[in-house]
Chains A and B, each alone.
Chain A
Amino acid sequence: MRRVYVNEEWCLGCHLCEYYCAFAATNGTDMARALRDTKINARIKIEENDQISFAVSCRHCTEPYCVKGCLTGALTIADGIILIDREKCIGCYTCILSCPYGAISPSEDGAVQKCELCARTAGEAPMCVKGCPNEAIVFEERG
């Protein structure tokens, strides 16, 4: 399965991936209109200090703690992609506590949010990958 991988060697810490992620979630066509005067809450997040930076998003683990721990069955795996059913999520945050990567976060409406590999873009590279100026995030098959 193709996944999002991070080449931290080339990450510039420009945070563009976060903005492309937030833009993808709005379903809009123009980033300026979609994100102006908003505070974004992206599903991918840059971790950084003075020396290094890299993007963190859901690893889509094959045996994920988050799915195992989900009380309501809101988190499921379909074709290797871990999806969230926002209707079923009760906001207990068990998944947030159990994710070893910190890749799940609360959203504004109470349900949790996570990277679903831009499931809507069907097969194409997710927006964060497309928006990365330095190939620091890639979408590829790695055994």
Chain B
Amino acid sequence: MAVNYLYPEYEVARNYDRCIACRVCERQCANEVHEYLPDANKMTCDDSKCVNCHRCVSLCPTRALKIVRSGNTYKENANWSRKTIDELYKQAGTGGVLLSSMGNPEDYPVYFDKLLLNASQVTNPSIDPLREPMETTVFLGAKPQDIRRDNFGRLLTDIPPHLKLSMPVMFSAMSYGSISYNAHESLARASEALGIFYNTGEGGLHEDFYKYGKNTIVQVASGRFGVHKDYLNSGAAIEIKMGQGAKPGIGGHLPGHKIVGDVSRTRMIPEGSDAISPAPHHDIYSIEDLRQLVFSLKEASNYTKPVIVKIAAVHNVSAIASGIARSGADIVAIDGFRGGTGAAPTRIRDNVGIPVELALASVDKQLRDEGIRDNVSIVVGGGIRSSADVIKAVALGADCVYIGTAALMALGCHLCRSCHGGKCNWGIATQVPKLTKRLNPNIGFKRLVNLMTAWQHEIKEMMGGMGINSIESLKGNRLMLRGVGLNEKELEILGVKYAGE
């Protein structure tokens, strides 16, 4: 047998004083880590299979389990970290490209954490959201450039189609296939209850969910999976996905074993066939080409729905966004490098793309400098973790944010980053019926509604503290931000002053 170079990364620490051998850990682990020994009436485990998803920890009724980092260590080396060494051994053993899931976990700066918010003191009173009305409603879409009147001098109020949201947060694109039916149902029902939107991702829309259409954004991506006329007309907006923050520049690949039953029907491809989304749209090689697709989709939906163009945050993002703002799109969505994925090559996820805070600040500035900021609304995703991040993104110039990872965490995701294995113990990133039923949408949708309700309260509190009673007044209001621990160049790109200035 070949030498195994890899030592388990985690250990299951079981407190035998508390374990009652109820076997719930064994029954709930799709990775088959735990095993019951009938002769000894004791549980045992194989740490090497553990992905640290905490399903057993959360369900253990006596709190007998915890997962700890295994103490095994290589000789310390500042250049060769354990992760780097393990990855090298893995590749030497398999010859394969390393795969990862969820967002970039590496130690790059998080600019949201280096921005601080303002609050009113003596001269400009703060507002108490419990006593005063506080507006968090936002509208997404192209804004009219000028005031128009008819022959009788009456104001013309017809404006391009808009999305109306109760708060500046939407659930970002996650396809049916990459996540489960129950996860989609949870997102759809929560969006309806909250008055916001969720996004189908590139997997089509399951026929059961057409009824949530007015809270759905339907996506058209490079593989065109599940796209047909009824689909385009079922949602409130249509999103063209040009890129994804977790894997800019490459396409997607949903393995054939996940293309089963309804997933195959919804994607309109045969069961068991790999769903491969090409890296580029094969009909888009310029802004003019993009404009053609934007207007094809508008034509197909009779100019009743705003069109979103989603791009990954990359080096020339502001020039790209400027092109999109001129392409006829109503909304531009920018996905930062912390954005999640169901599967991506590790090297791409961890090394490609830029932080969304910098991308947002530079796009907002560029569009304002060019006088085309009102052509489009800006939505940012990829790294929004809390209501504070939402507020900071809005102050940097965003109209709204997308959350994906945060929403999945509300559904139980513990960021074990093993989605690509297809054995999600929380019933989210899997199509195995025994596992998908673990996510009961009756519970899931309530948890999403709870999370958003909590964020909305916090957003109102923070706005009130700044003396602002409408989220629109905060948009692009960078004077409400101050930086700490940032250099001159970073402050310049973010367009904020240093704390104390």
A residues with a Cβ closer than 8 A to B are 9-10, 12-16, 19-20, 30-32, 35-38, 131, 133-136
- A32 touching B18 by the CB < 8 A rule? yes
Across-interface contacts of B24 in A (CB, < 8 A): 14-16, 19
Provide the residues of chain A in CB contact with B27, threshold 8 Å.
12-15
Residues of chain B having any CB pair with chain A under 8 Å: 17-20, 22-24, 27-28, 41, 59, 61-64, 437-438, 440, 442-443
**Contact, CB under 8 Å: B437 / A16:** no
The docked-state distance in angstroms from the alpha carbon of A36 to that of B15 is 12
Minimum Cβ distance to chain B for residue A29 (Å): 12
Q: Chain B residues near A14: list those with CB within 8 A.
A: 24, 27-28, 59
Contact call B437/A12, Cβ cutoff below 8 A: yes
A69 to chain B, nearest CB (A): 34
List A contacts of B18 (CB < 8 A).
32, 36
Are B22 and A135 in touch, CB under 8 angstroms? no
**Are the CB atoms of B440 and A135 closer together than 8 Å?**
yes
User: Assuming the A-B contacts A31-B61, A32-B62, are A19 and B440 also in contact, with contact meaning beta carbons closer than 8 angstroms in the complex?
Assistant: no
**Cα–Cα distance between A39 and B18 once the two chains are bound (Å):** 15
Q: Are B440 and A10 in contact (CB under 8 A)?
A: yes
In the complex, chain A residues whose CB is within 8 Å of the CB of B440? 10, 134-136
Q: A131 contacts B442, CB within 8 Å?
A: no
> Knowing that A12-B27, A16-B24, A31-B61 are A-B contacts, what are 16 other residue pairs whose CB atoms are under 8 Å apart, sorted by A's residue number?
A10-B440, A12-B28, A12-B437, A15-B22, A15-B23, A16-B22, A20-B61, A31-B20, A32-B20, A32-B63, A36-B19, A37-B41, A38-B20, A133-B59, A134-B437, A135-B443
User: Which of A9, A15, A31 lies in contact with B437, CB distance below 8 A?
Assistant: A9
Residue in B20, B63, B437 whose beta carbon sits within 8 Å of that of A35 in the complex: B20
- The answer for the CA separation of A20 and B20 in the assembled complex, in Å, is 12
Residues of B within 8 A of A12 (CB): 27-28, 437-438
List 29 contacting pairs A-B, 8 Å CB cutoff, sorted by A: A10-B440, A12-B27, A12-B437, A12-B438, A13-B27, A14-B24, A14-B27, A14-B28, A15-B22, A15-B23, A15-B27, A16-B24, A19-B22, A19-B61, A20-B61, A31-B20, A31-B62, A32-B17, A32-B18, A32-B20, A32-B62, A32-B64, A35-B20, A35-B22, A36-B18, A134-B438, A134-B440, A135-B440, A135-B442
Q: Which residue of B lies closest to A11 (CB)?
A: B437
Give the chain B neighbours of A37 by CB distance below 8 A.
41
How far apart are the CA atoms of A32 and B63 in the complex, in Å? 9
Question: Nearest residue in A to B15 (C-beta to C-beta)?
Answer: A32
> What CA separation (Å) do A35 and B63 show in the bound complex?
13
Inter-chain contacts of B63 with A (CB < 8 A):
32
Which of B20, B437, B443 is A36 in contact with, Cβ under 8 Å? B20
